[in-house]
Chains A and B, each alone.
Chain A
Amino acid sequence: MAWSALIIWAKTMSNVVLIAPDPITRINDRWLLKNLELQQIVAAVPDTLSYKNFVDNFAHNMGPQNSELGQQAFLHVVTETVYHYPSTYLSEKPIKPIVCKRPFVIVGPAGSLASLRNIGFRTFHAFWDESYDDITDPEKRLLAVVDIVEWVSAKSLVQVQSLCTSMTDVLNYNFAFYQKHFHNRESERLEAKCLANLKPRYDTNQNPNS
């Protein structure tokens, strides 16, 4: 981890010492690759590489307005903002395949699928092995996700289309849940949390103003 990238501010006027990371390194997106072969494979990708093997100028703005692009592929390999991170981190990215009615795997922190299920979405354990979500070793987790991509890629287009059809219940459920219920359910959860917050908390019943 780049300690050298840290800037330490010491403000004598306010007596508060704050630590700020260099803007460039503000996301920890590196982890140590232990597997020598994997190290070599990753190192072989040039820093300047820019790759895109399909034509669509709106590729990164996929969503309700552009479900056509999302529907062209079967499995969505969602690469989260962070990967080796102390907690799960669910950005808006897993919602993209949901609004396109497509299945997904997540290249993100361990527990990402469990968090999505906890919110109320369904995932795809009936169709492939989702135990990658429990793997805390970042290298093994990534290899397990790639195994699924490899498994899907080995199928014919007809087989993949048929697999998609067999997922109808889950895909329609996730789409409808997001469109009709998710918003209200999150609001209800927030209401409950606000009420809990107003009660005395943790190990104290003391007046917090004292």
Chain B
Amino acid sequence: MKVISSDTENILKKHFQFDRIFNLYEYDLDMQRLRLDLEPLTRPKYESNYRFIFLLYDTQYHITNDQPGLTLLNLQRILHNLDIPNYFCLVLSHHDVSEQLRQLARSETTDDCAIDSMCHFNYYAVTTWNDVRKIDPTLEINPDAITHKYQSLNRIPRFHRRALYALLDKKQLLPHGMVSFNHLGKNDV
């Protein structure tokens, strides 16, 4: 799954030395594999601009909302176990995980600093739905095209979507909108 653009990768290459970029989504169900992949890259010393770079562009499981997510908890434990200082690690994400990383540095390590994180949203540009290269720059607002008051598409039936659907139904708002819930169409994936 490609989550960062080549432009983003080039910026990282300009500033840092790294062997590869680890997409944490690919390790989510077996973080031991991440440890195995990281181990050969460990060294007694690192160049000052060497970085282990991790992408976190997916959800994590939080036991409670005041605790760090399990993906970052496991990552911190693996890095500590492999004696990789936090200074040489970097997490790119589309949400702010800096406080979680500070919490983990305190609770799981004796490291002087937390893993650094950067909020970076350029991955939008490489997702199929929002590919900037496919946008028609001449698109008009076209208010006459409006046939429904609102639209809410809810393919995966998560709890908040269920609650929303239930409320729209209860308030008899469904006929005013284009609404889907837990529906897999012919071309939906």
Chain A: residues with CB nearer than 8 A to chain B? Answer: 1, 3, 6, 9, 11, 14-21, 23, 25-31, 33, 38, 41-42, 44-45, 49-54, 56-65, 67-68, 70-77, 79, 81-92, 95-96, 99-102, 107, 119, 138, 142-143, 145-146, 149-150, 152-153, 155, 157, 160-162, 164-165, 168, 171-172, 175, 178-179, 182-183, 186-187, 189-191, 193-195, 197-198, 201-204, 206, 208-209
Is A179 a contact of B150 with CB atoms below 8 Å?
Answer: no
The answer to whether the Cβ of B24 comes within 8 Å of any Cβ in the partner chain is no
| Cross-chain pairs A/B with CB under 8 angstroms, 12 sampled | A14-B81, A64-B129, A79-B153, A81-B158, A87-B95, A99-B135, A101-B140, A149-B168, A149-B173, A182-B125, A183-B7, A197-B118
Cross-interface CB contact of B74 among A19, A168, A182, cutoff 8 Å: A19
Provide the residues of chain B in CB contact with A31, threshold 8 Å. 159-160
- Do the beta carbons of B164 and A179 come within 8 Å of each other? no
B146 adjacent to A71 (CB under 8 Å): yes
Bound complex: CA A175 to CA B65 (Å): 34
- Given A149-B168, A209-B45: A72 in contact with B178 (beta carbons within 8 A): yes
Contacts of B107 in A (CB 8 A): none
Asked if B139 is an interface residue, CB under 8 A from chain A, the answer is yes
Compute how far the CA of A92 lies from the CA of B8 in the bound complex, rounded to whole angstroms.
Answer: 17
- Size category of the B interface is 35 or more
A19 to B75, CA, bound (A): 10
Q: Which of B27-80 contact A (CB under 8 A)?
A: 28-32, 35, 45-46, 48-49, 51, 59, 61-66, 69-70, 73-74, 77-78, 80
B170:A1 contact, CB within 8 angstroms: no
Q: State whether B176 touches A59 (Cβ < 8 A).
A: no
A18, B77: Cβ atoms under 8 Å?
yes
* Complex contact B188–A190 (CB within 8 A): no
* B26 CB–A CB distance under 8 Å: no
Q: How far is the CB of B182 from chain A (nearest CB, A)?
A: 5
CB distance from A117 to the nearest CB of B (A): 13
Do residues A74 and B149 form an inter-chain contact, with CB atoms below 8 A?
yes
- Give the residue of B5, B66, B170 whose beta carbon is less than 8 angstroms from that of A86: B66
Q: Which of B11, B114, B131, B151 contacts A63 (CB 8 A)?
A: B131
- Select which of A9, A14, A142 is within 8 A of B167 by beta carbon: A142
The closest CB in chain A to the CB of B116 belongs to A197
Interface core residue of A9, A68, A89, A149 (most chain B CB under 10 Å): A149
What is the CA–CA distance of A155 and B148 in the complex, to the nearest angstrom?
Answer: 11
- B128 cross-chain contacts in A, Cβ below 8 A: 61, 63
Contacts A63-B134, A86-B66, A190-B120 given: A162-B177 contact, CB under 8 Å? no
CB proximity to A under 8 Å, residues B134-152: 134-137, 139-152
The smallest beta-carbon distance between A118 and chain B, in angstroms, is 9
Residues of the A chain whose Cβ atoms lie less than 8 Å from the Cβ of B21: none
Residue of A nearest to B11 (CB): A190
**Per-residue 0/1 for B77-97: is the Cβ within 8 Å of any A Cβ (1 yes, 0 no)?**
110110001011010001111
Against A, the Cβ 8 Å flags (1 = close, 0 = not) of B160-189 are 111111111111011111111111111111
**A52 neighbours in B (Cβ, 8 Å):** 179-181, 183, 185
Establish whether residues A161 and B160, one from each chain, have CB atoms under 8 Å apart when the complex forms: no
